[in-house]
Structure 1
Amino acid sequence: MSPLWRDPGVPFAHGIDQRGVIMKQVLLTTAALLALTGSTFAADMAVKAPPAPIPAPVFSWSGCYIGAHVGGGVLHDDTTVGFGLAVAGRGAGAVAGGQLGCNYQTGLFVFGIEGEGYWSGLKVEEDSNYGPGFATSFEAKNKWDATVAARFGYALDRTLVYGKIGWAWGGFDYSSTVTTGGVVAGTAGASGTLDGLLLGVGAEYAFAPNWTTKFEYNYIGYGSKSLDWSACDGGGCGYVGSYPVSADKHIFKVGVNYLFNFGGAPVVARY
């Protein structure tokens, strides 16, 4: 064996052992590097790809709902009272009530039916003077309304713009007083239910998964109807005849609805 393999001052046999130690160190270092490379590769393989984004839900208007509303309006009345006098005038008042209905959405179009019932404080009051000592006081009061209508609209996600057409019924009270020389000479009155065409437009917005708010305008034309009038004067009270009344009104309302969606959760958009 060549003396190059041994350290001077170290016996020849010990030089062989020193070479073996060096070889072991090289092998151990190589194994450590391979183990480290494998661990890094395994760690890279263990990392999962980020999840795909979930599409945003698209609101569905399909379902039934129940709600409440408040508002106000203007009433126009044209009446021939029990004394044969014609009275026409305008008045205003508030309304408050509730609604229920159902919608069905197909694509961007929404179709439905809705019923409403509400208290009405709209009334017309007219005082007229027909000469010295002769005057009349008249009141027409709309007490309640009930409506049923078809709704049709266009939906932009949570916003619905719609129109409605239907029929309305309204309860009315009429009264009139005649004075002569500052003294009541007679009174007359009638009550009845008028009915007529309902037209409306509105916008509704879903501010929560099951809650919506709306703003709506209604026109109701009750047309003309004859009512039975009774009157009282110095000679007593009794039926005095059937006289025509007519009315129409404009109503502005704000309301809130709770929507029971068909099928539960909102529809998810497809891409």
Structure 2
Amino acid sequence: MKQVAPALVALVTFSGSALAADLPRKYAKPPAVAAAFVNWTGCYVAGGGGYGMWNQENSTFVDGPLRFQNADTITTGGRGYFGTVQAGCDYQFAAASERFVIGAFGDYDFASLTGRLTPSGFSMVGDEKMSSAWAVGGRLGWVATPSLLTYVSAGYTEATFDRTNFNLNFPPFGVAAGLYQEKRTYDGWFIGSGAEYALGFLPGLFWKTEYRFSDFNVGTNPIRDTASGLPIGFSEDSKKYVHTVRSELVYRFNSSGPAADVTSPAYLKAPPAPTPLTNWTGCHVGGGGGYGLWNQDNTTYIDGPTRTRFSDTATTGGRGFFGTVQGGCDYQFAAAGAAFVVGAFGDYDIGSLKGQLSPPRFGIVGEEKMSSAWAGGGRLGWLATPSLLTYFSVGYTEASFDRTDFTLNAAPFGRPSGVFMDKRTYRGWFIGAGEEHALKIVPGLFWKTEYRFSEFDTATNAVRDTATGLSVGASIDSEKWVHAVRSQLVYRFNWGGGPVVAKY
């Protein structure tokens, strides 16, 4: 496995309370006492890291008094790790017998999210790296337990991409093209979701994990001569999208002081009367949807008795929405004074995650779409409350990409090139994390959200003649990676049972 992505997603879940399935079957109501609390009101600092993936839509233009597009739009991208620091302040308040947190924050990322850029219409390639990003925004969260906060976030962000020095994209590789694109900062917005948890072994120490999607405005990047620094009369318009998942240690300066709402009934009331328990043991079905982004590293080869590399490696990609259905079974058990769930599942996605593929050195472009995927795996989770499960998942996955019919990558656009790349299925593995929550509105109904990272094996795709279906003597080696976040409603067939002792 060439890439190992840190994966932990968090989501916002809403109210709903029930008791667990694997505890003794006699209800014992304790006296009303003030529960142990964590004060979420106050300021904090944080530091950590994460993994991210970005895609962009690039279009090449001829500059001048009348600027016009001379090469079709293609999708390129990159991926990698980053470190992050953050500071912010929160305020805790009570409403509708629940506890909520509102806050503001700012963070800065030191990054190395790198891809191999081939500008549309040019036979050259270079490293394009997102080296830093910063964001300011706000968040609104629900205190699921006194020590666990789930939240959504949104705000403004900027990302900086370093200078790209190009090499010629043909043998011998590594020869300077004498051209470059200057360092550029893009501005945009982000939306995210996460969870933060108070660690018990050190006062004030918390652990936070967040998924974040960012959308940046179009930036125009002139292609410049290396010797003089002057534009050569061509430029690229670039529209960028970034997915990240980040995990941080947080120190809060007022974690043990009195919270604004600590004397509210939500903290002082006794447990409610016996209610139908949430039994996590049993089977389930689910359905929903999500959004995903994929990258791939493509290298062109000349086929024959001796297969020869014809191009340098370039990074392309795609993105889009998908629907999903799932079935599985879980088993709830107790260990070390806590409740856990282990299970197995399978799911199938019907998607439209697509990008504009331009194979290196071919001068052609076509839509490449991930149309479906399936996965089988297992999960292990911890019951943060009787009705809230947080979990990790891992398993095997396959993804199918539809046939790509190419057109010529020159104006006028859309003219058939006479070649195509056939439909192909890729095999690999995935790792993910998520949360599942029992909803009050319908017995047996749950809501689940999961972040998932998938890596697929390299596959060889022959470029074929449209008229005959035969290979033209060239092929593309492709290795793919996918980020996806999914949310679905789940129905459990064995959700209920008798009253239990409240030991949570």
Q: What TM-score do the two structures reach when normalised by structure 2?
A: 0.39
Of the three residues 258, 263, 270, the one matched with 2:268 is 270
Deviation at 1:55, TM superposition (A): 3.5
Q: 1:227 matched to which residue of 2?
A: 221
Deviation at 1:129, TM superposition (A): 11
- Aligned residues of 1:179 and 1:186 also touching (Cα < 8 A): no
- Aligned equivalents of 1:147 and 1:237: distance in 2? 31
Q: 2:36 matched to which residue of 1?
A: 57
Instruction: Decide whether aligned partners of structure 1 residues 154 and 186 sit closer, same or farther in structure 2, where only a CA change above 3 A counts.
Output: same
Residue 150, structure 1, aligned to residue 150, structure 2: no
- Aligned equivalents of 1:147 and 1:229: distance in 2? 28
- Aligned equivalents of 1:129 and 1:170: distance in 2? 22
Q: 2:123 matched to which residue of 1?
A: 135
- Aligned residues of 2:160 and 2:184 also touching (Cα < 8 A): yes
Residue 166, structure 1, aligned to residue 155, structure 2: yes
Of the three residues 104, 110, 115, the one matched with 1:113 is 104
**Residue-by-residue CA offset, 1:153-186 (whole Å, 9 max, x unaligned):** 0012111000001011111124233457756553
- Aligned equivalents of 1:64 and 1:243: distance in 2? 43
- Aligned equivalents of 2:163 and 2:58: distance in 1? 9
Paired letter, 1:247: K
Q: 2:76 matched to which residue of 1?
A: 89
Where structure 1 has 5 or more consecutive residues not aligned to the other structure, the ranges are 1-51
Paired letter, 1:171: T
Paired letter, 2:78: G
Partner secondary structure for residue 77 of structure 2: strand
Of the three residues 203, 206, 224, the one matched with 2:198 is 206
- Aligned residues of 2:124 and 2:177 also touching (Cα < 8 A): no
- Aligned residues of 1:178 and 1:185 also touching (Cα < 8 A): yes
Instruction: Decide whether aligned partners of structure 1 residues 100 and 184 sit closer, same or farther in structure 2, where only a CA change above 3 A counts.
Output: closer
Partner secondary structure for residue 162 of structure 2: strand
Paired letter, 2:58: T
Q: 2:347 matched to which residue of 1?
A: none
- Aligned residues of 2:114 and 2:127 also touching (Cα < 8 A): yes
- Aligned equivalents of 2:180 and 2:61: distance in 1? 6
- Aligned residues of 2:119 and 2:236 also touching (Cα < 8 A): no
**Residue-by-residue CA offset, 1:14-33 (whole Å, 9 max, x unaligned):** xxxxxxxxxxxxxxxxxxxx
Instruction: Decide whether aligned partners of structure 1 residues 170 and 238 sit closer, same or farther in structure 2, where only a CA change above 3 A counts.
Output: same
- Aligned residues of 2:44 and 2:89 also touching (Cα < 8 A): yes
- Aligned equivalents of 1:57 and 1:129: distance in 2? 60
Instruction: Decide whether aligned partners of structure 1 residues 144 and 214 sit closer, same or farther in structure 2, where only a CA change above 3 A counts.
Output: same
Paired letter, 1:270: L
**Residue-by-residue CA offset, 1:88-108 (whole Å, 9 max, x unaligned):** 323210010200000001011
- Aligned residues of 1:101 and 1:115 also touching (Cα < 8 A): yes
Of the three residues 203, 216, 234, the one matched with 2:210 is 216
Of the three residues 49, 52, 60, the one matched with 1:73 is 52
Larger radius of gyration: 1
| Bigger helix fraction | 1
- Aligned residues of 1:82 and 1:230 also touching (Cα < 8 A): no
Deviation at 1:127, TM superposition (A): 5.4
The number of equivalent residue pairs is 215
Q: 2:237 matched to which residue of 1?
A: 244
- Aligned equivalents of 1:105 and 1:54: distance in 2? 21
Deviation at 1:124, TM superposition (A): 1.6
- Aligned equivalents of 1:91 and 1:243: distance in 2? 17
Q: 1:4 matched to which residue of 2?
A: none
Q: What TM-score do the two structures reach when normalised by structure 1?
A: 0.69
Q: 1:26 matched to which residue of 2?
A: none
